[in-house]
Amino acid sequence: MEQSEHDLLEEANNVATLGEYFAWVQRCDECIEQLEEKSRAKRKIVASSPTSDLQEWFTQHVIEPTLTTLEEFQERDSGWALSSILNLTISINKYNPLHAGCYIKLPEEITTKKAVINVHSMDNACFTWSVVAALYPAERNTERESSYPHYTTVLNLQGIEFPVTLKNIAKFERLNNISINVYTIKEKKKEEEQLTIVPIRLTDEKMDKHANLLYVQDAQDNNVGHFACIKNLSRLVSSQINKKNGQKYICEW
């Protein structure tokens, strides 16, 4: 186990390990499935890094918690006692920790069009920073937080949880009397295909205050997403409409 985890650490930098066991008890030699389920639920997935002492880490996060759970089980008044552990499984997987903030570098095909403002924030508030960038355009240093009023001073965030998800946008719209459309990058089926922008969320009614946002998933982790401000939708999608140059007017409703 130590050698396999050591090899994985060198390859992946971080790994996550999940331990679970399956036991027989002495009372009637019945297989206790509940014990397996409870131990699995209580045993959190824990990460180790290249600097971890693997033996110490294994003792602290696998052996000791397992023994504690078994001792607690035997101390109950059920009359059950552990007879033997039939199997101990340690699952080791590559681990990609969530980013400290929500900044994700946009694809070059997007950045070269200069149609999207990607505010560099590390406070898990990329959605609100993107809205502020749309409502209060900056003339220079458009990707810096300092170029805009702080979102807490210009937006009503009562009851809004961070990070903001697509399903929470309707509530945000009502609180701030604003309309928001969200677009994303369609996954390419072939490498040679051009990048395509598609809507994933269109507002019910356009308001005087309106923002178009781009939602991008982290290429390394599909569970991590990022919002950026679309400052020029026409320029962003022009290449997928036709090959001619010139201003395009997009119907957003």
Domain ranges of the chain: 1-75, 108-241
**pLDDT band at 188, cuts 50/70/90?**
low
Kindly tell me if the per-residue pLDDT of 42 is higher than 80. Answer: no
* Length of the chain, in residues: 253
CATH architecture of 108-241: Alpha-Beta Complex (3.90)
Tens digit of each residue's pLDDT (9 = 90 or more) over 44-60? 445 554 445 667 767 77
**pTM score over 0.75:** no
Beta bridge partners of 82: 25
Cα gap 139→71, rounded to integer Å: 65
Tens digit of each residue's pLDDT (9 = 90 or more) over 16-28? 544 444 454 444 4
